[in-house]
């Protein structure tokens, strides 16, 4: 009974950490969309726990920001009150990151001291802790890339930052599922297991591509669908040399591949749903395949709406949020398929 209680406590703890990570990802997308991410030009692990508390402290922070490329090239002449608005956005994003890290590390030590974690699982938990530290480091390196000579962060570092966050979410969710979900009596078919993994991997690629779109601001290139620049396959997709650099650095190709790869991912969701309709599959697994398909359809619709609307902040943020929900549902389906 004690083991069961410990498992449930750890499962709920991990779900709480997952909720914080999810909020961080969604809020981080909002910070980027509102161009608030470069408002704090330093990384102070201890001092940065508190925002400026006096008028002089605000003036000091504003003076530092006025030396940044973003102020000089984008926000020149910005008033202090406007600066406070974007500063608070970035500050609370960093603050929540600290809270998420502490919400993982402190209970982890308690569970370790109590011997509640099986030895075979300890390396995984320590690895998650290191991934939290790596995420903070990558986040600062991302911000730092936008403080040198251009008012935007490296799209590659932004994508890495997003990918690390999803890795954290996946690692914590998988452990939580282990603790809280019952073992299935019905073994999933080989086809369903394979398609669930293929869908999850394709989705990861698509979300990473979305990070590239965001970092390159490629979503603003075209507000028409299905055509881009009045063409189904627009010119200039392979304009850079060497050719492979276009896959990561050419905004036109990054946008093009992201919008059309979405339909490949949707096709996999449909296939997964049909493989999961078999009554011999577990009820939770069948529900997972259904959820994935419904969310995937919604996500494609939101993606098209984001393009046609010219990247409205709310719709773009909702598109990012649903991507995380779809990621979670896909991971749930994989877990049920292999449990």
Query: 47: pLDDT confidence band, cut at 50, 70 and 90?
Result: low
- Residue 228 forms beta bridges with which residues? 231
**Average pLDDT score over residue span 46-74:** 89
| CA angle, residues 300, 306, 311, in degrees to nearest 5 | 155
Looking at the chain, list the stretches that DSSP marks H as alpha helix, in order from N- to C-terminal side. Answer: 2-33, 55-65, 69-73, 80-114, 122-145, 155-180, 190-216, 246-249, 251-275, 283-308, 313-338
What is the chain's mean pLDDT, rounded? 92
Query: 50: pLDDT confidence band, cut at 50, 70 and 90?
Result: confident
Q: What is the DSSP letter of 91?
A: H
Burial zone of 227 (CB within 10 Å; 0-12 exposed, 13-18 middle, 19+ buried): exposed
Separation CA 217–CA 195 (nearest Å):
32
Q: Which residue has the tokens 């991934």?
A: 131
* pLDDT at residue 2, as a whole number: 43
* pLDDT at residue 6, as a whole number: 60
Q: Which residues lie closer than 8 Å to 71 by C-beta, 6 or more apart?
A: 65, 78
Percent residues over pLDDT 70 in the chain: 97
Q: Which residue has the tokens 């698509």?
A: 206
pLDDT over threshold 90, residue 189 = no
Interval 278-334: pLDDT, tens: 877 888 999 999 999 999 999 999 999 999 999 999 999 999 999 999 999 999 999
pLDDT over threshold 80, residue 268 = yes
**Average pLDDT score over residue span 105-111:** 94
Interval 113-158: pLDDT, tens: 988 888 999 999 999 999 999 999 999 999 999 998 888 899 999 9
User: Model-level pTM?
Assistant: 0.93
* pLDDT at residue 281, as a whole number: 80
Interval 76-92: pLDDT, tens: 999 999 999 999 999 99
Concatenated DSSP letters of 153-209: --HHHHHHHHHHHHHHHHHHHHHHHHHHSPPPSSPPPHHHHHHHHHHHHHHHHHHHH
* pLDDT at residue 1, as a whole number: 40
* pLDDT at residue 3, as a whole number: 52
Percent residues over pLDDT 90 in the chain: 83
**Average pLDDT score over residue span 47-71:** 90
Coil vs helix vs strand at 231: strand
* pLDDT at residue 219, as a whole number: 92
Separation CA 28–CA 26 (nearest Å):
5
pLDDT over threshold 80, residue 46 = no
Q: Which two tokens stand for residue 288?
A: 């997972």
């Amino acid at each position: 009974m004690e083991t069961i209680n410990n498992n449930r406590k750890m499962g709920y703890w991990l779900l709480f950490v997952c909720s914080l990570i999810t909020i961080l990802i969604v809020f981080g997308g909002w910070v980027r969309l509102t161009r608030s991410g470069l408002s704090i030009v330093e990384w102070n692990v201890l001092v940065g726990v508190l925002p400026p508390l006096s008028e002089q402290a605000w003036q000091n922070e504003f003076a530092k920001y006025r030396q940044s490329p973003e102020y000089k090239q984008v926000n020149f002449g910005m008033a202090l009150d406007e600066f406070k608005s974007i500063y608070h956005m970035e500050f609370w994003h960093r603050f929540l990151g600290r809270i998420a890290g502490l919400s993982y590390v402190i209970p982890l030590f308690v569970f370790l001291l109590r011997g509640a974690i099986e030895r075979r699982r300890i390396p995984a938990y320590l690895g998650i802790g290191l991934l939290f530290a790596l995420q903070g480091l990558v986040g600062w390196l991302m911000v730092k890339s936008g403080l040198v000579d251009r008012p935007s962060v490296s799209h590659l570092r932004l994508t890495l930052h997003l990918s690390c966050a999803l890795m954290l979410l996946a690692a914590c969710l998988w452990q939580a599922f282990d603790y809280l979900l019952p073992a299935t009596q019905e073994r999933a078919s080989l086809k369903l297991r394979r398609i669930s993994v293929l869908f999850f991997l394709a989705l990861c690629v698509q979300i990473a591509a979305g990070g590239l779109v965001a970092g390159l601001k490629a979503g603003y290139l075209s507000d028409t669908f299905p055509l881009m620049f009045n063409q189904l396959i627009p010119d200039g997709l392979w304009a850079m040399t060497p050719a492979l650099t276009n896959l990561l650095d050419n905004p036109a190709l990054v946008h093009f591949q992201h919008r059309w790869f979405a339909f490949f991912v949707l096709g996999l969701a449909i296939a997964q749903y049909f493989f999961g309709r078999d009554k011999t599959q577990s009820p939770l697994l069948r529900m997972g395949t259904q959820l994935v398909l419904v969310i995937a359809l919604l996500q494609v619709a939101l993606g098209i709406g984001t393009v046609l609307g010219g990247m409205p902040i709310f719709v773009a943020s909702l598109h990012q949020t649903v991507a995380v929900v779809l990621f979670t549902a896909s991971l749930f389906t994989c877990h049920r398929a292999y449990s």
